[in-house]
Structure 1
Amino acid sequence: MTSPLRKTMVRRLGVLLGAVGLAAPLTVALGGTAQAAGSACTAGTGPYQAKAERFLGRPVDGRQSAADCRAIRDFQLDHGISPAIGYAGPVTWSVMEVVAKQREAGGNPNASGACPTNKGRIACVDLTRQLSWIQDGKKLKFGPVPIRSGRDGYETRTGLKSVYWRSIDHWSTIYKVRMPYSQFFDGGQAFHAIDGSVWSAPGSHGCVNMRRADAKSYWSLLKNGDDVYVYGRKPGT
């Protein structure tokens, strides 16, 4: 006959083992072990090693170290570059170049005066730097924010346009994808949010892709009839 004390100990042991058994799969499901395994830093020296080291503030010697690899991999993970293994290849370097230009823009993205300042409120899209912002005359109202424009063969068309139709929860019947906070300004081309990275290659099918929070802000700031000016040329198109 089992004593009450022994029964209590058995029950507690069972609960403990059950908790341990559940903990392992939850760690994988929540991205612990699985994420680490999926983003292992295994790459050797890439053709843009020295440039990547300089961009990331690492010691510049052009040779891959474990710390270099982790820094490059972390950048790749943050910017949706796949595979994220720490290799300083052409895709990674092209994104670094764009990010560097975006950082340089700071709080004065229209320093060159390329986007018109005589139109009142206007949304500016600089394809070269993959940046957009909203200004009113010479006053910056929002941004600059990173964007992803059209890929090669589907370039976002340049010139002066205006917002003509808005659809807050738009569904593309052509590409079968959601386009939240869509604001169309040139045929089927629109500002809209995407779920993935705005830095990921190769680009959109002509729309100006934005992070959700940025697209939501554009939705609140723009209205039908507001001007949009698109200029420059996306790298690689």
Structure 2
Amino acid sequence: MTKRSRVRRGRSRLAALAAMVGSLIVTGAPGASAAGTPEVRLRGDEGTVMCRLSTGPYQRQVEKFLELPQDGKQSAEDCAAIQSMQSAYGISPADGYAGLVSHRAAALDWAMRNPASLTGCAGRSRLVVCVDQTRQLVWVQRSGEIVFGPVPARTGMPGHRTRNGSYKIYKRVEKFWSSLYNAPMPFSQFFDRGEALHASHRPIFEEPGSHGCVNLRYEDARTLWPMLRVGDGVVVFGKREGK
């Protein structure tokens, strides 16, 4: 693909994303918020929201994942696309900033459109749950074919890291209650001592990480529940960034 073709493709995706948040309104020259962050105003369907024009630490990566021109610099057009993606995944604040949370959501968006990028999971079992800690993704493959996902996940925070390795599910409890943390863990599927795949009632992109388990959105965990059995493989790899 030529550079011109890539730019056209990026602009087409940008137009589709920007349409979701309404027309872009720049009120004069970019100003600054009370915190000194550059901003513009974007008029969306639910009123006017503020858009950060400062370049985020994951700017170039997010531009790549959203198929935007990759210059590593925030623009009003970039912000419209990032805000749209943030809104689609329930990220708050949806301010268009390319931070770590937005990077994770954009990586998910990219992976769903590019299943060939789902690599690094070499399990011994015919059916294996793949936990990519770097991208905070989970998918299931059977004999190398992806049969579920990718979906977003949340693995262990510092001090409670989810351990990398190859495991097998050894216990399943649909309505598990954690006495250690005094909290529900619906659709728990244990694979490494006390670590399990299970549903979380927290927003999935929210920091900090888990206490070692692999958290999933409730609907994703419920969908995954009937697909797995005791003895199915789980492969955990990569390294999670963030708190």
Equivalent residue number for residue 108 of structure 2: 99
Equivalent residue number for residue 86 of structure 2: 76
1:80-91 alignment runs, 5 A limit: 80-88=90-98, 90-91=99-100
Unaligned runs of 5+ in 1: 1-34
Contact 1:49-1:64 within 8 A present in 2 as well: no
Cα distance in 1 for residues equivalent to 2:159 and 2:187: 25
Shift in Å at residue 184 of structure 1? 1.1
Equivalent residue number for residue 223 of structure 2: 217
Specify whether residues 87 and 138 from structure 1 end up closer, same or farther in structure 2 by C-alpha distance, changes over 3 A only.
closer
Report the 3-state secondary structure (helix = DSSP H, G, I; strand = E; otherwise coil) of the residue aligned with 1:200.
coil
Shift in Å at residue 85 of structure 1? 2.5
Equivalent residue number for residue 10 of structure 1: none
1:204 aligns with 2:213: no
Q: Which 4+ stretches in 1 moved above 4 angstroms?
A: 52-55, 57-61
Report the 3-state secondary structure (helix = DSSP H, G, I; strand = E; otherwise coil) of the residue aligned with 1:94.
helix
Give the letter aligned to residue 115 of structure 1. A
1:189-200 alignment runs, 5 A limit: 189-200=195-206
Equivalent residue number for residue 180 of structure 2: 174
Equivalent residue number for residue 53 of structure 2: 44
1:229 aligns with 2:235: yes
Unaligned runs of 5+ in 2: 1-44
User: TM-score scaled to structure 1, two decimals?
Assistant: 0.67
Greater strand share, structure number: 2
% identity of equivalent residues = 37
Cα distance in 2 for residues equivalent to 1:171 and 1:151: 21
Specify whether residues 74 and 195 from structure 1 end up closer, same or farther in structure 2 by C-alpha distance, changes over 3 A only.
farther
- Greater displacement, 73-82 / 214-223: 73-82
Shift in Å at residue 190 of structure 1? 0.6
Give the aligned length. 197
Specify whether residues 178 and 74 from structure 1 end up closer, same or farther in structure 2 by C-alpha distance, changes over 3 A only.
farther
1:129 aligns with 2:138: no
